[in-house]
Structure 1
């Protein structure tokens, strides 16, 4: 792919996610979904900053590349959208159901990331990073964020909330 198509792919995928985001947040328990969104931004951008600073990942094409080393569309729009839908789908699931419901979210994301790493300049994997690392890191991030939200929900049930 040439740079123009890579930027177009990044722009179109981000715009699609921005379009879908209100449908994921503006639902019953609006406050919960805003919390999920914010937790996902914080968690993913911290993890991304760490991986970029250690040299495992490099984003060659990214918005505001002079100010940010992380991938803003993924960290602030795409990943939070994935996490919102995962949390909504697993809202009343048991642990096994939560694990099984990870795959429809993680597998497509890892396939897209693998394609981007091998066929485009959007991302480059370094220091031995591979699709397996992306798979494991996405699973861990989704489960940790899901656990944080479950904890907040349980705590919130005991107190009066606005």
Structure 2
């Protein structure tokens, strides 16, 4: 169990850093309710998707926070990826579709390589033989675009209701 301690400490440090970032990030730019909605939508759908993947044994997280309680990676599902999504949405809030997609690839690619490195060099994540790197990469891109579309649709509905 001692060989896993550095990896557990890394997870705890990532949680602490994320908690320091998330509050100012949400409060930094208006409209705050949009960022809360983005966060909650992303975290909620992460749990549903990750539960499905872990139950089917497509993805495993040998080392994770609260491992006796959850099979999923709570740090990624509830904190890291939702925070990433808020950053991405704030960065692309006024952009046209082509720029939105370009910025997504710019943000997603480095994050993906970190996960790929974690899968190959640590016990933080383990993909089954059915799951390849491109499944993760394009899943994150697709999910981020869906979240971006969701908040864009909510903003459009809100604007149209105000103009009536």
Q: Deviations over 1:25-61 (max 9, x none)?
A: 1031011111111011111111111111111100111
The aligned counterpart of 1:3 is 4
Unaligned runs of 5+ in 2: none
Distance 2:18 2:132 in 1: 25
- The number of residues matched between the two structures is 160
Distance 1:14 1:64 in 2: 12
Does the CA-based 8 Å contact 1:55-1:127 persist in structure 2?
Answer: no
TM-score under structure 2 length normalisation: 0.92
Unaligned runs of 5+ in 1: none
Distance 2:16 2:136 in 1: 23
Paired residue secondary structure (2:93): coil
Runs of 4+ in 1 over 4 A off after TM superposition: none
Task: Specify which structure has the higher proportion of helix.
Answer: 2
Distance 1:65 1:2 in 2: 16
Distance 1:108 1:72 in 2: 21
Distance 1:5 1:18 in 2: 20
The aligned counterpart of 2:21 is 20
Distance 1:69 1:39 in 2: 20
Q: Deviations over 1:56-113 (max 9, x none)?
A: 1001111222221111010000000000000011101111101100123211211111
**RMSD of the TM alignment (CA)?**
1.5
TM-score under structure 1 length normalisation: 0.93
